[in-house]
Structure 1
Amino acid sequence: MSVKWEKLEGNEGVLTVEVDAEKVNEGLDAAFKKVVKNIAIPGFRKGKVPRVIFEKRFGVEALYQDALDILLPEAYAKAVEEAGIEPVDVPKIDIEQMEKGKSLIFTAKVTVKPEVKLGQYKGLEVEKMDDTVTDEDVENELKRLQENYAELVVKEDGKVENGDTAVIDFEGFVDGEPFEGGKAENYSLEIGSGTFIPGFEDQLIGMQAGEEKEIEVTFPEEYHAKELAGKPATFKVKVHEIKEKRLPALDDEFAKDVDDEVETLEQLKAKIRKRLEEMKKNEAEAALRDAVVEKAAENAEIDIPEVMVKNETDRMLREFDQRLQMQGLNLELYY
């Protein structure tokens, strides 16, 4: 097999491929074995027609398309590899010669990956991210761990405050009618978490256990349920129980609960500092690499084929559709 690659303007080129006659005849043989199974001629059992009779009746040309279907995929793949190109789209194939006993000659117009022309990339200056770990960073990480190990304790007396967890019943109404998904019982809601519609959690602050109240809110314009977006709603709410977060003391016992490899709080702090230093160092190195690449890319020239943009857009859309389907939605409902 011979292959010739001719680069055209932009990101296109033409492959000219010649497949040996021997290989063509093998393709015709395979094509005959495939089609003869469905051929019935008087005097012969179905699928048992001799090759010479078939060609006399239908002509060898009747096998050409099936033979091409067999020969082209392999020949094109080998030609691409031999030419050292990277196609980004389905080629446009033109058959120039297809005949029994002769070589197969075809051309393939191909769109390939674009070549990048690098501009100035030596001596680039970028700002390195600060990877210093401060005492404040360590304290913030300790506070996060303290929050994670906090206990929820029932408030015997008192009112709902920001940060508390209120156990509530609620039912929502729009235009005086209840709506789907707007009702729940014994729901644990952390006040200030932003879980509910803006304004809902704020209006629970100050309520006491056993108290009932009507809360007025408005659904955001960009709310996922279009039938509710932008509409005012009324929620009937009852508070059953109020729980406050009780933080553990930051001492040696807390340190041992968090990490069984340490004995004291100071050892835990040292371990946190070391972990944060490694993390910040890795982040700084990654940020530096990204900044250098971005700076170099600004000086580069590249002509991206439209088909690559379309293929990438289609791929992202398919992935998004799959994620929506996992949530019981689809693109039609989403848009």
Structure 2
Amino acid sequence: MKATWEKIEKNLGVLEVEVDAERVAAALDKAFNKVVKQINVPGFRKGKVPRSIFEARFGVESLYQDAIDILLPEVYGEAVDQTDIFPVDRPDVEIDQFTKGQSFKFKAKVTVKPEAELGEYKGVEVPASKVEVTDQEVAEELERLQQRHAELIVVEDEAAQSGDITVIDFDGSVDGVQFEGGQAERYSLELGSNTFIPGFEDQVVGMNTGDFKDVEVTFPENYHSADLAGKQAIFKVKIHEIKRKQLPELDDEFAKDVSEFDTLAEYKEDLKKQLQARKENEVKAARENAVVEKVAENATVDIPEAMINNEVQNLVRDFDNRLRSQGMNMEMFLSFSGQTNEDLENQMKDDAEKRVRNNLVLEQVAKVENIEVSEEEINEELQTMADTYKRSVEEIRSILESNGSLGNLREEITLRKTISFLVDNSKEVEAPAAE
């Protein structure tokens, strides 16, 4: 097989391929074996028609399209490897020649991954950050822990207030007509959570157990249901029960309950260390992002639209997976938010372009600086994964090799090393004092 690549403009080029006649014949054989199982010819059992009879009756040309479908993906992949190009979109293929006894010739217009033109990438300046944990932050963390370990108690003789959990019945209607989703019995609603239509929870505040009330609200103009958007509604509400969080005392007993420490003072000191470590990781990540953004801004790269669209789809899939982990799915989210798939994709387009740009720039820095990954580094990463998943290194390697992800792991480590290189070669500068 012969393959040549010629760039014609920006990231577009033409791949010309010629495949020898022997492989054409082999593809025609495979096409015949596939097609003969599906045809009926008088005098022959299905699938048993001789090749000569088939070609005399239907013509060898009837096999061409199936043979091309069999051969083209295989030889296209080989041509890509042979010419060392990196396609980022489906090729636009034009068949020049496909005939029994002759070579197979085709041209493919291919959009390839661009190469970034680097600007300044060493010594870029980013704002300096200080890591300091205040007593106020420790107190706020303790309050969150109190909330998490709070006990719910039933309130008998007091009115509902913000933060309470109310068990309610509600029956909603617009112009006297009930609407779908507007009714429920013994529904647990946390007041102040902004779960319901704006204004609903505020009007439940002040009600007592056993009270009935008409709650009047207006649906937002951008409400996901067009039939209800902007409409006024009345909900008939009854409170069955009011529950209030009772926070545990902040003392040594609390520390023993939520940690391995015997005193609150010890636990506070440990919390401070945890918050310090968390902040240091956040600052480290922020500096890495700032450096990469700065280096990317200084570079020039012409990104094919196909790469951006592909990354948008990756972001949509990631978002869908996060929704599913929370008990939702994309259809539910779009219904609640009043958006379409197209709306969501448009929102993600800028982030997708930024991610593609950053990755292309990082790849070019790695290439220029000869940043490579050793087998020892691969093995260390595999060991970390093995420890995390309680599997052997051999099992992890086998899984990654079987699904073709070992190369992705190498690329991921290369990107991490490249970011580390850029950070090590950046400068932190103090932000100018505010006037």
> TM-score normalised to the size of structure 1?
0.88
Pairwise CA distance, 1:144: 0.3
* Structure 2 residue matching 1:281: 3-state secondary structure: helix
Q: 1:334 and 1:27, CA in 2 relative to 1: closer, same or farther beyond 3 A?
A: closer
Q: Give 1:206's aligned residue.
A: 206
Contact 1:163 1:191 in 2 (8 A): yes
Amino acid at match of 1:252: D
CA distance in 2, matches of 1:195, 1:230: 18
Q: For the Cα contact (< 8 Å) 2:208–2:239, is it kept in 1?
A: yes
Q: Structure 1 residues 330, 183: CA separation in 2 closer, same or farther (over 3 Å shift)?
A: closer
Structure 1 position 313, deviation (Å): 4.8
C-alpha spacing 1:244/1:39, structure 2 compared with 1 (3 Å): closer
Correspondence 1:252-267 to 2 at 5 A: 252-259=252-259, 261-267=260-266
Once the two structures are TM-superposed, the CA of residue 310 in structure 1 deviates from its matched residue by 4.1
2-structure distance, mates of 1:31, 1:230: 62
Question: What is the number of equivalent residue pairs in this alignment?
Answer: 334
Taking structure 1 as reference, are residues 317 and 256 closer, same or farther at Cα in structure 2, changes over 3 Å only? Answer: closer
Could you say what secondary structure the match of 1:272 adopts? helix
Mean alpha-carbon deviation: is it higher for 261-270 or for 153-162?
153-162
Q: Kindly indicate whether residue 123 of structure 2 is the aligned counterpart of residue 140 of structure 1.
A: no
**In the aligned structure 2, how far is the partner of 1:313 from the partner of 1:113?**
16
Partner Cα distance (2:141, 2:339) in 1: 42
- Partners of 1:332 and 1:164 lie apart in 2 by 29
- Residues 321, 330 of structure 1: 8 Å contact kept: no
Counterparts of residues 89-108 of structure 1 (less than 5 Å): 89-108=89-108
The Cα offsets for residues 61-102 of structure 1, whole Å up to 9 and x where unpaired, read as 443332222211100011112222221222122222333333
Q: Is the 8 A contact 1:324 1:330 kept in 2?
A: no
| Within-5 A mapping of 1:12-23 | 12-23=12-23
Query: Of Structure 1 and Structure 2, which has the larger fraction of its residues in helix?
Result: 2
| SS of corresponding position for 1:221 | coil
Other-structure match for 1:270: 269
Counterparts of 2:169 and 2:67, CA distance in 1: 71
Other-structure match for 2:330: 324
Q: 1:245 corresponds to which residue?
A: 245
Structure 1 equivalent of residue 392 of structure 2:
none
The CA deviation at 1:46 is 4.8
* CA distance in 2 between partners of 1:46 and 1:241 (Å): 75
| 1:91-240 superposed matches below 5 A | 91-240=91-240
- Residues 333 and 303 from structure 1, CA distance in 2 versus in 1: closer, same or farther, beyond 3 angstroms? closer
Check the 8 A contact 1:146/1:247 in 2, yes or no: yes
Q: Which residue of 2 aligns with 1:88?
A: 88
Query: Please, what is the CA RMSD of the aligned residues?
Result: 2.9
- Counterpart CA distance in 2 for 1:325 and 1:215 is 30
Q: In structure 2, do the counterparts of structure 1 residues 174 and 34 end up closer, same or farther at CA, with 3 Å as the change threshold?
A: closer
Which residue number corresponds to residue 288 of structure 2? 289
User: Quick check: 2:334–2:340 contact (8 Å CA) kept in 1?
Assistant: no
1:240 shift after superposition: 3.0
Match runs of 1:29-108 below 5 Å: 29-38=29-38, 45-108=45-108
CA contact (8 A) 1:321 1:331 kept: no
Q: What secondary structure does 2:125 align onto?
A: coil
Separation (CA, whole Å) in 2 of partners of 1:25 and 1:11: 35
Structure 2, unaligned stretches of length 5 or more?
Answer: 322-328, 342-435
Deviates more, 1:1-10 or 1:150-159: 150-159
Q: Which runs of 5+ in 1 are unaligned?
A: none
Amino acid at match of 2:159: K
Residues 224 and 339 in structure 2, CA contact (< 8 A), matched pair in contact too: no
In 2, the alpha carbon distance for the partners of 1:249 and 1:317 equals: 44
Deviation, structure 1 residue 258:
0.9
| C-alpha distance 331-102 of structure 1, shift in aligned 2 (>3 A) | farther
Structure 2 equivalent of residue 3 of structure 1: 3
CA contact 1:15–1:108 (8 Å) conserved in 2: yes
Q: Which residue of 1 aligns with 2:307?
A: 308
Q: Which amino acid aligns with 2:63?
A: L
Compute the TM-score of the two structures, normalised by the length of structure 2.
Answer: 0.69
Bigger mean CA offset, 147-156 vs 75-84: 147-156
AA at the equivalent of 1:295: K
Change (3 A) 1:148 1:22: same
CA drift of 1:153 comes to 1.9
Distance 2:336 2:143 in 1: 41
- Structure 1 residues 91, 330: CA separation in 2 closer, same or farther (over 3 Å shift)? farther
- Provide Cα deviations, 1:120-142, integer angstroms capped at 9, x if missing partner: 11211011443322221111100
